[in-house]
Structure 1
Amino acid sequence: MKIIILGAGQVGGTLAENLVGENNDVTVVDTDPTRLRSLQDKFDLRVVTGSGSHPSTLEEAGAEDADMLVAVTSSDETNMIACQIAYTLFNTPNRIARIRASDYLRDMDKLFIPEAIPIDHLIAPEQLVIDNIFRLIEYPGALQVVNFADDKVSLAVVKAYYGGPLVGNPLSTMREHMPHIESRVTAIFRQDRPIRPQGTTIIEAGDEVFFIAANQHIRAVMSEMQRLEKPYKRIMLVGGGNIGFGLAKKLEKQYSIKLIEHNKERAAELAQQLNNTTVFYGDASDQELLAEENIDQVDLFIAVTNDDEANIMSAMLAKKMGAKKAMVLIQRRAYVDLVQGSVIDIAISPQQATISALLGHVRKADIVSVHSLRRGIAEAIEAVAHGEENTSRVVGRTIQEIKLPPGTIIGAVVRGDEVIIANDNTRIEQADHVILFLTDKKYVRDVEKLFQPSPFFL
C-alpha cells in the first residue's frame, strides 16, 4: 500500500515505523528537514520537505497514485486543507486526519463530509485518551482495558499479586474457581518476556496477564489475579485543558471530582462550565494546597497537563502525601517505560492511543479495530471473517485447523450478540468478529492475509 504521512512528529514517526515494518511504501512530509533526515536514517522510506497543505508538496509526495493520506501534523487546519486538496486535485481514495480542537469536533457530522471537508476517518486524540482513562476508572487495578465488537467483549491487562486465588496455581484451576464464567488468558509477560499460556502454566506474582472475557465478567476474572480494589470515589484531576475538562465532565455525575488548574482565567471558565466539579486555581505541586484538599483521602490522582515533568512530579508528590493511586499523561515514549509501575501506577500515552486508532484504518482485510499493547510490542486485533470454506483460510475451520502465525492466539469470537470465548474446537463462520492477540506485531501481515478471502484459494 502506498501511504503518505503528513507530519514527522512523535505520532507521524511512530506510524511510519509501524507501516514500514509491514512492507508498505511510505512517504513522510514535514517542514522540518532535520526530523525527516532522522527518520530516513532509521527506516526505509521516502521524505519530502514542505507544507503538507501545498498542492506542489503533495504532488511531489506522490498523491496522484497514493492509496492513503494520513494527516497528523500539529495543525488541525493543515490536516483539513491537505485532505481537501488530496480529494479535489489528486482523488486520493482514503484520507485520515488528526483533529484536536473541540470546536471542530463539536460539528464534525456537518463539517467532515465529502461536500464540505472530505475526511474519511477522523482521529481525535483527546477523546481517545478520555475514553481510555474512563475505562481504567471503571476497572480499578487494570493496567489497560480495550473493548471490541461494540463493547460486548474486552481484553484486560492486570498484574498478578499475592492474594489473588490463581497466583501460585496453574491456569487450569481458574475454571474450577469460576465454573460459570468463560474467559481466556491470551498471554503472560514475565519479566518482559512473553509466555504462551497453557493449562499447566503457573501464575506468578508480578506476571502481566492478558485475558479476554465478556464485559460483565472482567472484574470477576481480575479477582483471580489480585485482591479486587474498591471502586474509586474521590478523584483529583490536574490540568484543565481539553482532556481534563472532558474527563471532569464525564466523571462528575458518578464521582467526587476536584480539579486543579494553574491558569486563573481558565480555572474561572471551568468553574462555570462544570456543574459538580470543585475547581481550584493553583499549582498541583504545592504541598499546602494538596494538604488543604485532603490529598490523603483521594482514591485516584490523575495528572493530564501538557507538561510531562509537571505531571510526573505532581503525581509523585501526591502519592508521597497519601493519594492511593496515581495516573499520569505522558507524551514522551521513553518516559512511559521509566515511570510505569514505580511510584506512578499507570502511564497513559496519547501517542499509543492515536497509533491504535490509525492502524485500524490502515490495515488490510476487514479489520474493525486495532489496539497497540505493551508500548507497541504486542497488538490486539478485531477482524471480520469473510468468504466460504473454499475461498477463506478461516471460515468453516476450527481454531486448531487454522495455521496461526507464531505468538498469535484467537481469544474470542463474536457472532451477532453472542460472545464465544475461543477454544481449539471453536469453528469460525462467515461474518464472525474474531478477536486475536499477537505477542509480536511483526506477524500482523500474516494475520491480515489469513482474513483476506481469495477466489483462487481452494
Structure 2
Amino acid sequence: MKIIVAGDGKVGLALTRQLLREGHDLVTIDSNPQVLHMSLDQYDVMTLEGNAAAMETLREAGVEEAELLIAATSADETNILCCLTGRILNPNLHTIARVRNPDYKEQLFSMREQLGLSMTINPELSAAHEIFRLLQFPSFLRRETFAKGRVEIVELKVFEDGKLNGVRLSELYKIAKVKVLVCAVSRGEEVEIPNGDYRLQTGDHIYVTARAANLSQLLKNLGIGMSYVNRALLVGGSRLCFYLAERLLRAGVQVKIIEKNETRARYLAEILPKADVVQGDGSSQEVLESEGLRRADALVTLTDMDEENIVISMYGSAAGVKKVITKANRLEYSHMFEDMGVGTVISPKALCSNNVVRYVRAMQNQKGSVLALHRIADDRAETLEFLVDDTVPWRGVPLKDVPVKKGILISCITRRGDTVIPDGASSFESGDTVIVVTTCESPIMQLQDIFEE
C-alpha cells in the first residue's frame, strides 16, 4: 500500500518504522531537511522537503495515487488542512490527522466529513486513557481491552515469594480459581507462547487473558493486594497531564501536579481548580519530599524528557510509592529499565502507532479484518481481535484439531456477549469474535492467516 506520512517528528518516525515493518511503500514529508536526513539514514523510505499542506507538495509526493495520508506534524491546523487538501486531490484517499488540542473536539465530531478525515489520533489523550486504566488496578503492569470491554489481557510479574513462582501452567486454575489463560510469557529477551507444561519462575512477565469481571477475584486469589489510588502525584504539567488529571479528579482521586514553568502552572491551576498545582522542579528531591511523595499512592512522571522521567520514577519507587508510571517516547527504555523502579512505561507515540496499524490492516482486508490490535512484551508480541465470518475455515471444529501456526494462540472466544477462555474442546462459529496472540514476525492481516495451509 502506498502511504504518505506528513511530519517526521516522534510520532511520524514511530509510524514510519512500524509501517515499513508491515511492508508498505512510504513517502515522508517534512519542512526540516535535517530531520528528513535522519529518517533517510535510519529507514529505506522516500523523503520530500516541503509544506505538507500545500497542493504542490502533496502532488509531488504522489497523493493522487496514494491510498492513505497520515498528517502528524506538530501543528493541528496543518494536519487538518493537509488531510482536506489530500482528499480534494484524491477523493478515494483515506486520511488520518493528529489533532491534540481539546478545543477542536466538537468540530472534529460534527465536521469530520467536511474536513476530509477518516480518523483522528491524539497521542496524549490515548496515553491518559491508558494510564487512568492502569491506576484503576495498580497491581497490573499493563492492561489491554477487547470484546467491548468484556475481556482483558493483563501483565503481571512473577515474584520469588509469590504464589505463581514455580507453578506449572496446567495447575494454574488451582491457585487462580477463575478461568484464565496465560497467553504469553516474557523471560529475559525471549517471548514464548507457553503450553500447559510451562513452569513459571521468578522474574517472568506473564500476559493473562481473563474476563474483565474476574480481575478483582484473580488478584485476590493470587495473593496480590487490591490497592487503590486515592492520592496521585503528577510531575510535569503537559497536555497529557491535563487529560489525566481531569479523569482522576472526576473519579474522586486527590491530584497534585508539580510543574516547573510558572505560566503553565498558573494556567493548570485555573482550568483544574480541584487539583493542587505547585510551581517547582519535579526532579528535585527536596521538592518531591516537601510535596508529599511518600504519602502518594501513585507517581506519574510526564515531563518532556524521558531521562528526567526515568530518574524521578526510580526515586519515587525507592521512596516506597506503590504505583509508578513513566512516560517515555523511546521504547527501548521500557525493557532496559523495567526492573529498576520505573514501573510501567507508557509511550504515547506507540499507542497511536498501534491504532494506525490496526486501521491500515482493516483497509487491506475489509472481510475478517482486525477489530483491535495491541502490542505486548515490549513490542515483541501482538494481540489481535477478529470477527469470524463465513469465509473463515475450521468453524465448529475443536481447537485441539485446528492446525494453528507455531507461535500463535487463540486466547479467547466471545459469542453473543458470552466470553469463553478456551480449551482444546472449544470452537468458534460465524459471528464470534476471537482474540489471537502471536509472536510471529510476519503480520497477521486476517483471521485466515493464523492457520497452517
Q: CA–CA distance in 2 between the matches of 1:184 and 1:194?
A: 16
Q: Which shows bigger deviation, 304-313 or 342-351?
A: 304-313
Distance 1:64 1:227 in 2: 56
Instruction: Establish whether residue 50 from structure 1 lines up as the match of residue 50 from structure 2.
Output: yes
Q: Which of 255, 259, 262 is the equivalent residue of 2:260?
A: 262
Are the aligned partners of 1:96 and 1:119 in contact in 2 as well (CA < 8 Å)?
A: yes
- Correspondences of 1:302-451 after superposition (within 5 Å): 302-363=300-361, 364-365=364-365, 366-387=369-390, 391-440=391-440, 442-445=441-444, 447=446, 449-450=448-449
What's the counterpart of residue 243 of structure 2? 246
Shift of 1:449: 4.8
Indicate conservation of the 8 Å contact 2:12/2:72, yes or no.
yes
Structure 1 counterpart of 2:291: 293
CA distance in 2, matches of 1:84, 1:314: 42
Q: Which runs of 5+ in 1 are unaligned?
A: 453-457
In structure 1, what is the equivalent of residue 127 of structure 2? 129
Q: Aligned partner of 2:443: which letter?
A: V
Report the AA paired with residue 48 of structure 1: L
Q: Per the alignment, do residues 140 and 131 of structure 1 end up closer, same or farther by CA in structure 2, a change over 3 Å counting?
A: same
Question: Cα–Cα, structure 1 residues 375 and 203, in superposed 2: closer, same or farther, change >3 Å?
Answer: closer
Structure 1 Cα separation of the partners of residues 327 and 193 of structure 2: 31
Deviations 1:5-42 (A, max 9, x none): 22222322222222222222222222234443444444
**CA 1:448–1:18: 2 relative to 1, 3 Å:** farther
CA distance in 2, matches of 1:96, 1:269: 30
Query: In structure 2, how many angstroms separate the alpha carbons of the residues matched to 1:451 and 1:437?
Result: 10
SS at match of 2:442: helix
TM-score (norm 1): 0.90
> Contact 1:153 / 1:212 at 8 angstroms: preserved in 2?
yes
State whether structure 2 residue 141 is matched by structure 1 residue 167.
no
Structure 2 regions of 5+ residues with no counterpart?
none
Contact kept, 8 Å, 1:238 with 1:303, in 2: the verdict is yes
CA displacement, residues 195-237 of structure 1 (integer Å, 9 cap, x when unaligned): 3312221111110101111111124334566633522222111
Q: 1:277 aligns with which of 275, 278, 289?
A: 275
- Does residue 214 (structure 1) correspond to residue 211 (structure 2)? The answer is yes
Alpha-carbon separation, structure 1, partners of 2:399 and 2:55: 49
Q: RMSD of the TM alignment (CA)?
A: 2.4
> Partners of 1:321 and 1:173 in 2: how far apart?
36
Identity of aligned residues (%): 28
Q: Which residue of 1 aligns with 2:189?
A: 192
Of stretches 306-315 and 342-351 in structure 1, the one that deviates more from structure 2 is 306-315
The worse-fitting range, judged by mean Cα deviation, of 122-131 and 221-230 is 221-230
Instruction: Tell me how many residue pairs correspond in the alignment.
Output: 446
Q: Aligned partners of 2:410 and 2:228: how far apart in 1?
A: 31
Equivalent position of 1:156 in the other structure:
154
| Cα distance between partner residues in 2 of 1:220 and 1:164 | 16
Q: 1:394 to 1:6 in 2, by over 3 A?
A: farther
Instruction: Decide whether aligned partners of structure 1 residues 407 and 219 sit closer, same or farther in structure 2, where only a CA change above 3 A counts.
Output: farther
Read off the aligned partner of 1:208 and give its amino acid letter: H
Structure 1 CA distance for aligned equivalents of residues 231 and 444 of structure 2: 44
Distance 1:145 1:285, change over 3 A: same
How far apart in 1 are the matches of 2:98 and 2:256?
30
- What secondary structure does 2:159 align onto? coil
Which residue of structure 2 aligns with residue 91 of structure 1?
A: 91
Asked if 2 retains the 8 angstrom alpha-carbon contact of 1:67 and 1:94, the reply is: yes
- 1:294-345 alpha-carbon deviations (Å, 9 max, x no partner): 3222221111122223322333333444433422211223433333321211
Amino acid of the structure 1 residue aligned with 2:206: V
Aligned match of 1:64: 64
CA-to-aligned-CA distance 1:65-107 (integer Å, 9 cap, x gap)? 2111111222212211111011112224311111111111254
Q: What TM-score results when the alignment is normalised by the length of structure 2?
A: 0.91
The aligned amino acid for 2:117 is I
Q: What is the SS of the residue equivalent to 2:312? A: helix
Alpha carbons 1:352, 1:376 under 8 Å: kept:
no
Change (3 A) 1:408 1:99: same
Who is 1:455 aligned against? none
Distance 2:182 2:446 in 1: 20
